[in-house]
Chain A
Amino acid sequence: MEKLLEVKDLAVSFNTYGGEVQAVRGVNFDLRKGETLAIVGESGSGKSVTSKTIMRLLAEHSVIKRGEILFEGEDLTKKSEKQMQKIRGRDISMIFQDPMTSLNPTLKVGTQIMEPLIKHQKMSKAKARERAIELLDLVGIPNAELRIKQYPHQFSGGMRQRVVVAIALACNPKLLIADEPTTALDVTIQAQILELMKDIQKKMDSAIIFITHDLGVVANVADRVAVMYAGKIVEIGTVDEIFYNPKHPYTWGLLGSMPTLDSDEDELFAIPGTPPDMTNPPKGDAFAARNKYALEIDTQLDPPMFKVSDTHYAATWLLHEDAPKIEPPEAVKRRMKGFAASVKEGEM
Chain B
Amino acid sequence: MATNEKLLEVKNLKQHFKVGRKGVVKAVDGITFDIYKGETFGLVGESGCGKSTTGRTIIRLYNATDGEVIFDGEDVHGAKSKQELKKFNRKMQMIFQDPYSSLNPRKTVLDIIAEGIDVHGLAKNEKERKERVEELLETVGLNREHATRFPHEFSGGQRQRIGIARALAVDPEFIIADEPISALDVSIQAQVVNLLKKLQKERELTYLFIAHDLSMVKYISDRIGVMYMGHIVELTTSDELYKNPVHPYTKSLLSAIPLPDPDYERNRTRIEYDPSVHDQDGEMTLREIKPGHWVRCTEREFQQYKRELENN
Contacts and interface: CB of A to CB of B under 8 A. Distances in A.
Q: Bound pair: A and B? A: yes
Interface of A: 42-43, 157, 186-191, 194-195, 213-220, 222, 239-240, 243-244, 253-262, 265-272, 274, 335, 338-340, 342-344
A219 B258 contact: yes
A268 B158 contact: no
A261 B185 contact: no
B264 A219 contact: yes
B214 A42 contact: no
A339 B260 contact: yes
B262 to A, nearest CB: 5
B270 interface: yes
A259 B218 contact: yes
A262 B191 CA distance: 20
23 contacts: A42-B185, A43-B185, A157-B47, A188-B46, A188-B253, A195-B270, A214-B258, A216-B258, A217-B258, A218-B260, A219-B258, A219-B259, A219-B262, A219-B264, A243-B262, A257-B187, A258-B260, A259-B193, A261-B259, A271-B187, A271-B191, A274-B157, A344-B263
Nearest to B268: A220
Contacts of A215: 186, 260
B183 to A, nearest CB: 10
Given A187-B256, A220-B258, A267-B197, A274 B158 contact: yes
Contacts of A195: 270
B224 to A, nearest CB: 12
Nearest to B270: A191
B252 interface: yes
Given A270-B187, A274-B158, A340 B264 contact: yes
Contact of A261 (B157, B212, B242): B242
Contacts of A269: 190
Contacts of A191: 256, 258, 270
Contact of B186 (A187, A258, A274, A342): A258
B118 to A, nearest CB: 30
Contacts of A262: 242
Closest 5 CB pairs of A and B: A216-B258, A259-B219, A257-B190, A270-B190, A215-B260
Provide the main secondary structure of the chain A interface: loop
Interface in B16-61: 46-47
B264 A188 contact: no
Contacts of B188: 42, 270, 274
Interface in B159-197: 185-191, 193-194, 197
A339 B256 CA distance: 15
B181 to A, nearest CB: 11
A42 B194 CA distance: 19
Given A191-B256, A217-B258, A270-B190, A338 B185 contact: no
A188 B258 CA distance: 10
B260 A213 contact: no
A274 B262 contact: no
Given A257-B187, A339-B259, A219 B265 contact: yes
B102 interface: no
A338 B216 contact: no
B119 interface: no
Identify the interface centre among B189, B191, B252, B259: most chain A CB within 10 Å of its CB.
Answer: B259
A190 to B, nearest CB: 7
Contacts of B263: 240, 338, 340, 343-344
Given A267-B194, A267-B197, A274-B155, A188 B256 contact: yes
B261 interface: yes
Given A187-B257, A188-B253, A338-B264, 16 more contacts: A187-B46, A188-B273, A216-B260, A219-B261, A220-B258, A222-B262, A243-B262, A257-B186, A258-B260, A261-B215, A261-B259, A270-B190, A274-B155, A339-B264, A342-B264, A343-B263
Interface string B246-286: 00000011001111111111001010010000000000000
Contacts of A243: 260-262
Contacts of A261: 215, 218, 242, 259
A187 B212 contact: yes
A213 B215 CA distance: 15
Taking each of A265, A266, A272, A340, which has the highest tally of chain B beta carbons within 10 Å of its own beta carbon? A340
A46 B187 CA distance: 16
A18 to B, nearest CB: 13
Contacts of B218: 259, 261
Contacts of B194: 267-268, 270
Most buried by A among B157, B185, B214, B256: B185
Contacts of B257: 187, 216
Residue of B193, B214, B262, B263 ringed by the most chain A CB atoms within 10 A: B262
Contacts of A268: 190, 193-194, 219
A127 to B, nearest CB: 35
A219 B260 contact: yes
B262 A240 contact: yes
B253 A271 contact: no
Given A339-B259, A339-B261, A270 B215 contact: no
Contacts of B219: 259, 265, 268
Nearest to B216: A259
B261 A343 contact: yes
Most buried by A among B190, B215, B256: B190
Interface in B196-219: 197, 212, 214-216, 218-219
Contacts of A214: 186, 258
Contact of A190 (B189, B215, B256, B259): B256
A248 B62 CA distance: 48
A335 B260 contact: yes
B187 A186 contact: no
A348 to B, nearest CB: 13
A213 B258 CA distance: 13
